[in-house]
Amino acid sequence: MINIELKDGKITTKSGINGADIALSISKSLAKKAVAIAINGEISSLLKPIYSDAKIHIITEDDSEALKIMRHSTAHVMAEAVLKLFSNAKLAIGPTIKDGFYYDFDMPYTLEPNDLLKIENEMHKIISKNEAIKPKIISKNEAVQLFTEKNATYKLEIIKNLNPEEQISLFTQGEFFDLCKGPHLPSTGGIKAFKLLKLAGAYWQGDHNKPMLQRIYGTAWFSQKKLDSYLKFLEEVVKRDHRKLGIALDLFHFQEDAVGQVFWHTKGYTIYKTIESYIRQKLIANNYEEVKTPIIVNKHLWEKSGHWEKFQEHMLLTKSEKADMALKPMNCPCHVQIFNHKTVSYRDLPIRMAEFGTCHRNEPSGSLHGLMRVRGFVQDDAHIFCTMEQMNSEIKNFCDLLLEVYKDFGFHKVHIKFADRPEKRAGSNDTWNKAEDALRNTIDKMNLEYTINKGEGAFYGPKLEFVLKDALDRDWQCGTLQVDLVLPERLNAYYVNEKGEKQHPIMLHRAILGTFERFIGILLEEHSGKMPLWLAPLQIAVLTITNESEQYAQEIHQKLIDQGLHSAIDTSANKINYKIRKYIMEKVPLLLIIGEKEKKEHNISYRILGSDKTTTKNIDEFIKNVTNCITHKKYNIND
């Protein structure tokens, strides 16, 4: 007999009992909702036997881990369905991901979108059989023999890389089995609602030198209602895709001649310049000094900074007069060179050095994604050189500035993550202890809530990551602040303290937007391309109803231009309804409609994008409302 401790009490039962039997002994309703079991904190299959005293928790659909378990099981069912339909397919891997799962296959047949429905139908047949999903432990030799018989090339490669003495975990459902540590649902019938979403290509183990596999993405939920809600969310994501909006609104494009780099068109670059001007004014108001540093820098500097060792694979390399050079992937070593160019006194600190720095990183082509992931980008980057005593106030001032900027862009939900030391890092443990303690103490004093992002700090120091939540409730990590006690020492940066001694400064790496490219992509998706008035590349379109009102419309248009507003005029012979539709499609925030009535009464009529209501006003009052809206970053000129 063994003792089982649950949250609500203890039971004594026979050795070898499993979680499914325990759940049923408690209640039928619990057994029906049970998904898996946590045994002494380790999540396992409900069908795993328990042979010794243990603390357990029955995981149900209400637990956060449950959805991942069901999706993992759905991936296995999909793999079985593919093998039934395409007998010569080879299985690679099939993990869960955020909101779903995927599985990679190697097969001579090229899958098409219509095949997804066939695979779904086969999956429904497997689920309807409600076959038990059973864990099984075998030796490495047994596993090699088993998967050799199946000619399972990719599974064998995984197995052969394991330790010789390591036991192999399998899961079976009927005649199907797969290499997997689990956990899984107790049976295929526990899969409630699922949908296969799309096809993609993926290199085996992410290595472009290895075979290209076919990947099937899917999602699974505990109810059809939740699945339908998620599919509706995906439709909205497609509508808001910044890549499509970039083409439709004539903002930017990409082409193979410059992979991962943006061709900004006039309208897109207008948004870019507006954001740059806004950030520059914030920098001036917060006593930053702006600098500009070279794009290509000798390998020697990157070796001294540590980037050559830690970051070389992501750097774009070139040569000049037999010297190895690299396009800078970040600005920090160059900023230290400016700091080092003259003797700095403690009286000069803090020095806040900002740059709209052009950087390049050798991102894999498969990871590129419109503006969200590029090879060439510009950061709203800055480095603060300060003393340990000044660090707290500098961190606080930066956090205040960052939240102020996000508010102006319409982001009010900001989550902070504290990323501590990674496994691969520079500097001693003592240095890291000082940096982490100082950063943690500062944000604790500010009463800022945060979660721990274990092991995700920069190689030179801990960091804060600022995560925005958008209109679709998606998370975007944009701003960062990093405490660096390593780079100033590596690059021999020092100031003269009050005792006349040389001392290394604290270096704070910080960015608010992250990169202009990615932040503009986020804004486009946040607003579905309907940019707020102050960010819109074309803010106002002046539209004439008849030729008789053309001269008056030209006067209005010029007055708007003189006030620094982005205005266009359309005096074409097209009917007014056609003109209105045209500029609505271009997502222009304000449409001024000028006819004989407006000319005679010497005023204007306007419509706000998204509204059919027409308002008539004096032009000077209209301009006053518009400029006030832009100045205060309002979203409606009538507010």
Active site residues: 332, 361, 379, 381, 383, 463, 509
Q: CA angle, corner 607, sides to 602 and 608, nearest 5?
A: 135
Contact 184, 72 (CB under 8 A): yes
Contact 590, 636 (CB under 8 A): no
Strand partners, 221: 193
Instruction: For the beta carbon of residue 283, count every other beta carbon within 10 angstroms.
Output: 19
How far apart CA 317 and CA 312 sit, in angstroms, is 9
How far apart CA 508 and CA 352 sit, in angstroms, is 9
- For helices 550-562 and 619-631, angle between their N-to-C axes, nearest 10 degrees: 30
**What is the three-class DSSP state of 377?**
strand
DSSP letter at 505?
A: P
- For the chain, the first-to-last Cα distance in angstroms comes to 72
383 carries a ligand binding annotation: yes
399 carries a ligand binding annotation: no
332 carries a ligand binding annotation: yes
Residue 224 CA: distances (Å) to CA of 39, 216, 220, 228, 462: 31, 21, 9, 6, 43
How far apart CA 202 and CA 366 sit, in angstroms, is 8
Strand partners, 337: none
DSSP letter at 314?
A: G
> Which residue in 374, 373, 378, 339 sits closest to 357, CA to CA?
378
Residue 75 CA: distances (Å) to CA of 69, 80, 132, 434, 577: 10, 9, 15, 45, 51
How far apart CA 382 and CA 355 sit, in angstroms, is 6
Q: Which two tokens stand for residue 452?
A: 């721990």
Contact 338, 293 (CB under 8 A): yes
Contact 383, 508 (CB under 8 A): yes
Contact 385, 350 (CB under 8 A): yes
Cis link prior to 183 (omega < 30° from 0)?
yes
Binding region for Zn(2+)? 332, 383, 509
Binding region? 332, 383, 509
